[in-house]
């Protein structure tokens, strides 16, 4: 009887050791994933995420190691913004003849990529314009109102931090000149890329009224990296029905993330 008991104890300890080493292995693997993610970010997007179903926005936190269930996420509904004199105009250094390198349909959005040169300064740090892309409808809402389209101007600093300017669009009979230019390179199939190498005046992309909302949030797509400086322009740009429907046909339906909890963050507004 004593022998049987000893055998059970031995078997049990072998089983427990096996389980423990399996758990350690899993922990090691996920550690590798985290460090790889940090190393590769931001240039390698996770190909698996989508805008619908089991790989849609509600499941992004589950499908990969990322920050999508963090406490300072974007987009948000912009309400109760604090107007402050300290919120000075965005310090924009865009050229009058910026070269757009190419446009690509990456399966998540239509994205225009830039050559180095244009940048903004935020709190003494330089953020270079890397690319801009569309979401349809817009991601940030203003007092619950969702605009039909938004252009996100994504900037990155030398130490891999982000600043994004959101330009909201409202449906009108004609485009502003910038949207007309962008439209001339569409349509574009998934994974298709067109060289552009044409220049245009990036400064003409802004609305007349340059008031904006600002807060600290995240990228709105995986890996949902936090500490992103957001600048949402208050005045919407005119966008033609034609461009909106072209984008609708070539981008995933509803390529937007729903608004995230504010969790005590302050939204500031320039006046």
Catalytically active residues are: 108
Residues in the chain: 271
Q: Which is nearer to Zn ion, 152 or 155 (CB)?
A: 152
Minimum CB separation from Zn ion for residue 124, in Å?
Answer: 25
Asked if residue 155 binds Zn ion (CB under 5 A), the reply is no
Query: Before 70, cis peptide (omega within 30)?
Result: no
Q: Which is nearer to Zn ion, 22 or 47 (CB)?
A: 47
Minimum CB separation from Zn ion for residue 177, in Å?
Answer: 22
Kindly write out the interface string for residues 79-118 of this chain, putting x where it contacts Zn ion by CB under 5 A and - elsewhere. ----------------------------------------
Q: Is 92 helix (H, G, I), strand (E, B) or coil?
A: strand
Residue of minimal Cβ distance to Zn ion: 152
Minimum CB separation from Zn ion for residue 59, in Å?
Answer: 19
Asked if residue 152 binds Zn ion (CB under 5 A), the reply is yes
C-alpha neighbours within 13 Å on the C-beta side of residue 29? 7
Q: Which is nearer to Zn ion, 36 or 137 (CB)?
A: 137
Q: d(Cα 201, Cα 71) in Å, to the nearest integer?
A: 37
Minimum CB separation from Zn ion for residue 259, in Å?
Answer: 14
Pairing mode, strands 193-200 and 162-172 = unpaired
Number of residues in contact with Zn ion, rule: CB under 5 A?
1
Q: Among 45, 131, 62, 89, which residue's Cα sits nearest to residue 234?
A: 89
- Residue 140, exposed/middle/buried by CB under 10 A (0-12, 13-18, 19+)? buried
Minimum CB separation from Zn ion for residue 255, in Å?
Answer: 9
Stretch that binds Zn ion, among 48-56, 97-105, 144-152, 238-246 (CB under 5 A): 144-152
**215: β partners:** 230
Q: Which is nearer to Zn ion, 1 or 253 (CB)?
A: 253
Q: Which is nearer to Zn ion, 25 or 47 (CB)?
A: 47
- Residue 21, exposed/middle/buried by CB under 10 A (0-12, 13-18, 19+)? exposed
Q: Which of residues 28-57 bind Zn ion (CB under 5 A)?
A: none
Distances (CA, A) of 241 to 125, 171, 174, 228: 38, 6, 8, 31
Stretch that binds Zn ion, among 150-158, 171-179, 181-189, 210-218 (CB under 5 A): 150-158
Stretch that binds Zn ion, among 26-34, 61-69, 90-98, 152-160 (CB under 5 A): 152-160
Stretch that binds Zn ion, among 40-48, 123-131, 147-155, 225-233 (CB under 5 A): 147-155
Q: Which is nearer to Zn ion, 75 or 243 (CB)?
A: 75
Distances (CA, A) of 165 to 20, 131, 151, 168, 206: 48, 11, 8, 10, 10
Q: Among 157, 105, 167, which residue's Cα sits nearest to residue 130?
A: 157
Residues that bind Zn ion (CB under 5 A): 152
């Amino acid at each position: 009887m004593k022998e049987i008991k000893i055998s059970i104890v031995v078997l049990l300890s072998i089983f427990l050791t096996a389980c423990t080493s399996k758990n350690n292995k899993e922990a090691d693997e996920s550690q590798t994933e985290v460090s790889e993610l940090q190393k590769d970010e931001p240039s390698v997007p996770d190909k698996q995420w989508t805008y619908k179903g089991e790989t849609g926005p509600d499941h992004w936190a589950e499908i990969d190691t990322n920050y999508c269930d963090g406490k300072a996420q974007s987009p948000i509904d912009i309400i109760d913004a604090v107007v402050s004199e300290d919120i000075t105009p965005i310090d924009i250094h865009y050229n009058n003849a910026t070269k757009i390198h190419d446009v690509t349909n990456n399966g998540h959005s239509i994205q225009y990529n830039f050559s180095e040169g244009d940048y903004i300064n935020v709190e003494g740090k330089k953020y270079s314009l890397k690319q801009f892309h569309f979401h349809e409808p817009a991601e940030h809402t203003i007092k619950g109102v969702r605009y039909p389209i938004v252009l996100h101007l994504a900037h990155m600093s030398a130490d891999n931090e982000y600043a994004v300017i959101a330009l909201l669009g409202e449906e009108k009979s004609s485009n502003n000149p910038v949207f007309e230019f962008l439209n001339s390179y569409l349509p574009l199939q998934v994974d298709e890329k067109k060289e552009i190498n044409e220049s245009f005046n990036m400064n003409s992309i802004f609305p007349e009224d340059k008031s904006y909302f600002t807060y600290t949030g995240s990228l709105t797509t995986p890996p949902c990296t936090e500490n992103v400086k957001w600048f949402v322009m208050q005045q919407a740009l005119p966008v033609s029905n034609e461009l909106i429907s072209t984008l609708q046909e070539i981008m995933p339906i509803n390529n937007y993330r729903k608004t995230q909890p504010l969790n005590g963050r302050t939204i500031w507004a320039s006046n």
